[in-house]
Structure 1
């Protein structure tokens, strides 16, 4: 323990007298540090943390050197070495803590953004589905009441009403199926049984299923293949992907237009492209075509068939989820008179 012959009160008085001098020496350093913090306020958090550590250390060194009059004796040298070692330890720790806090802040901000986006999507989806469910239900109710009350009695009118009720029922059933599929995808509950699936069979079945709709709209659907690859996937889900893409293309292609399905191989991937005659999608909307409940603007040609079920805006979102579940990729861009939706899927191992 170091003892001093100078009384404690005298030491305190001496320190008090030195205080203005110390403040005059350290204030410029602190002001400079605050200025740097302000200039770098938009920089990284690690930089700010480093400055917050260096400012008091630099102010301490400045005060000590000024008070000692730059007389480097053993005590001053020891004190400067202690300050240096403190800086060498605290600066890396500050940088590390800054990066950790920055990553956590970014993660929390991204999580809040994702949560807000998901909530907005849920509200939009509920609004769309509520509207789409009410429309066919109202029609079914009105036609059923007309039949029950005898307002419609002619056999031809009864058959027409029955036909319309059947169409609306199928429309509702398709919407429910879409919602169930979408809920499985978003909840991560989709279980795929992977096997080698010939893409030719999947495309052929999908085109056969969509032929009646295409004929009613007078839309020509044709398939071209450089080669028919075999992909690694689940047959029902792959069929759903192709059906959704072809159905979407037919819906937005005007009468007497053409929907082209092209199949090929690029490297280790099978490529399936569906081209329509929709008239194109505005560039600022292309990134949203796979969003839930997205329906686009009037830039795309609307469907004109009376018996064609209206879209609930879920087909492309479901296709995207199923493609990603197969570890594939899906994209869309304007091409010629319409749009080109391109799916890339891994080939089955030979």
Structure 2
């Protein structure tokens, strides 16, 4: 009978603490995993303490014995809470990491599916055109020398486009697989930019776009020359493609305390705020992100800016974009620099 009475005292005290803990947890819903873990541990320990104290009171222990019990239980409670907090932190970190990993995997899987769809479309269209033109030439349907020459030119253009797409896919696969190996050297940015401007000049001229490069302030960086040239070229190609006719694309660079920066600014009309965080995603072409005049500019496979981000991050830097008035500004920052 006495054992039953002691059990009821302990159950009542522990139940009261548990009820309060349930109310606290309900009020804290939406908080972090660590907060919930600590509260649950505290409720568990306090329930035990309350039960022990209630039983001790019911047994009419002497003041000395009661103090001994309370000190012992309190010490055990402190140790239990400390250990619980430590492991709660680890549990919370593991849960957050697992959730982040799941989100990242879902995002990558969605990106892969979207990439396959884009690539399939980009290959199917030129291949159909190439096949039709080749059959027309083979069957002698087209005999006029001017038309034959035009067909040959269009076949070459489509072949170059597919070759560029394959090259982009190969570069992106190297980045994503961690197979990119840089060969760092001293790279004068002025020369890299000059070569990139020379390469993009015909496309810019066809759209009457003015390319402007700063006269001075070009630093020397340490990095992979081929990779940095690809970064500059991709940024220029992207800006020229999406800038309306008679627009302007400007490129400049400089060096600060935290490293080297390089910026490409254009008059593309700006990018919607909701798309700013997506422009560096694989296969995001941004038809909704630029002006309608860009529709006929021959947009690429949506891999250029994703490659830029991968190459910049491989150098330990970062790239971002923001709207500036009538256009946008892509800015690359590289932390590793020399003289």
Same fold (TM over 0.5): yes
Partner of 2:205: 215
Q: Which is worse superposed, 237-246 or 38-47?
A: 38-47
Say whether residues 1:36 and 2:24 are aligned partners: yes
Partner of 2:338: 349
Structure 1 residues 61 and 344, CA, compared in 2 at 3 Å: closer, same or farther? same
Say whether residues 1:318 and 2:307 are aligned partners: yes
Mapped to 2, the partners of 1:48 and 1:330 lie a distance apart of 42
Conserved in 2, the CA contact under 8 Å of 1:274 and 1:342? yes
Unaligned runs of 5+ in 1: 1-12
Q: CA deviation at 1:292?
A: 0.8
Say whether residues 1:60 and 2:48 are aligned partners: no
Q: CA deviation at 1:265?
A: 2.5
Mapped to 1, the partners of 2:71 and 2:336 lie a distance apart of 65
User: Among residues 184, 190, 196, which one is paired with 1:194 in the alignment?
Assistant: 184
Question: TM-score with structure 1 length normalisation?
Answer: 0.89
Say whether residues 1:93 and 2:83 are aligned partners: yes
Q: CA deviation at 1:305?
A: 9.0
Structure 1 residues 22 and 224, CA, compared in 2 at 3 Å: closer, same or farther? closer
Mapped to 2, the partners of 1:24 and 1:318 lie a distance apart of 65
User: Among residues 172, 180, 183, which one is paired with 2:173 in the alignment?
Assistant: 183
Conserved in 2, the CA contact under 8 Å of 1:224 and 1:261? yes
Conserved in 1, the CA contact under 8 Å of 2:9 and 2:51? no
Partner of 1:125: 115
User: Among residues 119, 129, 134, which one is paired with 2:124 in the alignment?
Assistant: 134
Q: CA deviation at 1:35?
A: 2.4
Structure 1 residues 57 and 279, CA, compared in 2 at 3 Å: closer, same or farther? same
Partner of 1:10: none
Mapped to 2, the partners of 1:157 and 1:231 lie a distance apart of 49
Unaligned runs of 5+ in 2: none
* 2:249 match: secondary structure: strand
Structure 1 residues 24 and 259, CA, compared in 2 at 3 Å: closer, same or farther? closer
Q: Which is worse superposed, 128-137 or 18-27?
A: 18-27
Mapped to 1, the partners of 2:170 and 2:7 lie a distance apart of 75
* 2:277 match: secondary structure: helix
Say whether residues 1:145 and 2:135 are aligned partners: yes
Partner of 2:2: 14
Conserved in 2, the CA contact under 8 Å of 1:229 and 1:264? yes
Conserved in 2, the CA contact under 8 Å of 1:229 and 1:347? no
Aligned CA-pair RMSD? 2.1
Question: TM-score with structure 2 length normalisation?
Answer: 0.92
- How many residue pairs get aligned? The number is 336
Larger Rg: 1
Q: CA deviation at 1:340?
A: 0.9
Q: Which is worse superposed, 40-49 or 191-200?
A: 40-49
Say whether residues 1:259 and 2:249 are aligned partners: yes
Q: CA deviation at 1:51?
A: 1.8
